[in-house]
Amino acid sequence: MLVYAPAAPQSVEGIPKGVAVQEKQHQGKDELGEAQQKWEEQVLDPWTKRAKDRPEILGTSSTPTKVVYTPVDAQTKYQEDIGFPGQFPFTRGVYPTMYRSRLWTIRQYAGFGTAEESNVRFRYLLNNGQTGLSMAFDLPTQLGYDSDDPLAHGEVGKVGVAISSLQDMETCFAGIPMDKVSTSMTINAPASVLLAMYIAAAEKQGISADKLSGTSQNDVLKEYVARGTYIYPPKQSIRIGADLIAYCANHVPRWNPISISGYHMRDAGSTAAQEIGFTFANAIAYLDAVIAQGMKIDQFAPQISWIFNTHNNFLEEVAKYRALRRVWAKLLKERYHAQKPESMMFRTHTQTGGSTLTAQQPENNIVRAAYQAMAAVLGGVQSLALSCFDEALAIPTEKAQRIAVRTQQIIAYETGISETVDPLAGSYYIETLTNELERQAWEIMKQVEDMGGAVAAIEKGFYQKEIQEAAYKYQKEIETGKRIIVGVNQFTEGNEESAPFFRVDPNVVKAQVAKLHKLRTTRDSAAVKKSLAALKEATQNSSAPLMPRIVDAVKTYATTGEISGTMREVFGEYRPPVVI
């Protein structure tokens, strides 16, 4: 049997099938509630007067934790709330057999220095069993600047690979068949530019856009809240993001044109419920923007993907992914009237929590990431990356990334948890947590909607304030010792050793800038100028599609900075509100 579920109800003479059993179950819960109350009064209360709770019993990020959970707490209707995998509301998974037929994609976040260096690291990871690539870009690229821009000084190649032109993208994927590898690109404000480069690089390999698979993060709204790598004001950013979604629906059907992100808000300090609620509120803004361009929900919703964060509270994280699937399915069905089951399927990448890593005793991070990864798998994710044990110190070393890949392989092939679908379903605690996270998420989404939607709420600083308060509470618990972090505020050894960590070669900047200067002298300058003028004209027309003009510009070897700068001239730059 692949899926475990309650036994089918038996018919009773004169009563429709299932009714008698359901009535009996309700009666049983009443009796159980009385028995539980009696147990609490006669057994639990006297016991807790003698045996107090440990001070570090803090509950989950979103709710206190009770001593014990029973069916009275779960309050779940199986077919309505849980159902079967591959069917609405998808609580138990988006595919009928989940990992029995195909494991999640093992995808480590990588990229640093120059395109040449990143190409070597990509090949290394693929040769060690990674099944997809996750591409990190340096800060200048994320902000739409070229490597030789004065504002890029000191940051080229440090937190990811420097991509200033199509030439860099071609080098990054030299010798890697782009139609055989799924690539996730963690890029937001200039996502259209980088995907255009990816499409053009694939064409150089003789691969058409419709053969490419992967994801562009392209979620700028969370940048205003949690990361800061925005360029343009929110409304203009949504236009660019929606334009990319529409373009991919028509031209790059296997590509996920947006990966709406809860990850960064969680790492900024949000609770699990806030992570769900704020992310889905952002999703509504994107959906509405694409529909406003004339698209139907079922034309593009199947290509929407996600990235979420897995933190240390193991059972809360399992429940979170189950709640995410249920909320998304209901949102698409009830608000947007989606007809295709694929539109209601919540498919997500996850990465283990970067903010949970410690610079002290960094080897402990191997254990943290392993448990977080297992929670994600038990929660039913489609793609997974582990934050490496040395990432609190620098970009991961090859050894650290190999350990992260091997950790996923051990979970996949040695633990047995991938052999049945949603194995923790039916746990009173898991079902209660799933319900509670769903309830809180809907409340948060309602708050945002009452403010006028995600853009208005962000401009008012609502997201930022809520996350800051949650982060402050968490940090205060650590500093007072109420929340124990092993190797940081408890179980320390006095002189915590740091592992050897990666450093970017300082010659990277010289090599990258020299290559960029050479490109500027050898490309067709007239073609570049013409393509940028066409892009500026399209940018000035609020109803004109942008992506075709960006692709044209990329193919002339116009640079990331030149293309982004052209749109800056029209859209301007965003200045955030001061949140106190």
Cα-based torsion angle of the residue sequence 118, 120, 125, 127 in order, rounded to the nearest 10 degrees: 160
Answer yes or no: are the C-beta atoms of 448 and 457 closer than 8 Å: yes
Answer yes or no: are the C-beta atoms of 164 and 516 closer than 8 Å: yes
Answer yes or no: are the C-beta atoms of 419 and 100 closer than 8 Å: yes
Closest listed residue to residue 515, CA positions, set 117, 139, 110: 117
pLDDT at 575: 86
Answer yes or no: are the C-beta atoms of 561 and 164 closer than 8 Å: yes
CATH T-level topology, domain 81-479: TIM Barrel (3.20.20)
Q: What does the alpha-carbon distance between residue 263 and residue 308 come to, in Å, rounded to a whole number? A: 4
- Chain centre distance of CA 566: 29
Using DSSP's 3-state secondary structure scheme, residue 105 falls into: strand
Answer yes or no: are the C-beta atoms of 316 and 371 closer than 8 Å: no
Roughly how many angstroms between the first and final C-alpha of the chain, as a whole number? Answer: 55
Q: Tokens 């408890």 identify what position? A: 490
pLDDT of the chain, 580 residues: tens digit per residue: 455 666 544 433 433 333 333 344 444 568 898 999 999 999 999 999 999 888 888 889 888 899 999 998 988 889 999 999 999 999 999 999 999 999 999 988 888 889 999 999 999 999 998 888 999 999 999 999 999 999 999 899 999 999 999 999 999 999 999 999 999 999 999 999 999 999 999 999 999 999 999 999 999 999 999 989 999 999 999 999 999 999 999 999 999 999 999 999 999 999 999 999 999 999 999 999 999 999 999 999 999 999 999 999 999 999 999 999 999 999 999 999 999 999 999 999 999 999 999 999 999 999 999 999 999 999 999 999 999 999 998 889 899 999 999 999 999 999 999 999 999 999 999 999 999 999 999 999 999 999 999 999 999 999 999 999 999 999 999 999 999 999 999 999 876 666 566 677 777 788 899 999 999 999 999 999 999 999 999 999 999 999 999 999 999 999 999 999 999 999 999 988 766 5
Closest listed residue to residue 145, CA positions, set 153, 518, 509: 153
Please give the helix or strand (H or E) that residue 380 lies within, else none.
none
Q: Which residues of 250-267 are buried (b: 16+ CB within 10 A; e: fewer)?
A: eebeebbbbbbbbbbbbb
Q: Give the amino acid at 1.
A: M
Residues 6+ apart with CB under 8 A from 351: 109, 263, 307, 309, 310, 384, 385, 386, 387
Closest listed residue to residue 158, CA positions, set 175, 141, 174: 141
Q: What are the residue ranges spanned by the domains of the chain?
A: 1-43, 81-479
Q: Where are the alpha helices (DSSP H) in 415-500?
A: 428-450, 454-459, 462-479
CA gyration radius, the chain: 25
Closest listed residue to residue 155, CA positions, set 169, 145, 167: 145
pLDDT at 131: 84
Q: What is the DSSP string of 135-187?
A: E-B-HHHHTT--TTSGGGTTTTTSSSB---SHHHHHHHTTTS-TTTSEEEE--
pLDDT at 219: 96
pLDDT at 22: 39
Q: What is the DSSP string of 496-552?
A: PPPPP-----THHHHHHHHHHHHHHHHS-HHHHHHHHHHHHHHHHSTTS-SHHHHHH
Give helix 364-379 / helix 314-330 axis angle, nearest 10°.
Answer: 30
Residues 6+ apart with CB under 8 A from 180: none
Sheet harboring 255-256: ordered strands across? 109-110, 132-135, 182-185, 214-216, 255-256
Residues 6+ apart with CB under 8 A from 138: 112, 155, 156, 157, 158, 159, 160, 161, 162
Q: What does the alpha-carbon distance between residue 3 and residue 190 come to, in Å, rounded to a whole number? A: 43
Tell me the whole-structure pTM to 2 decimals. Answer: 0.90
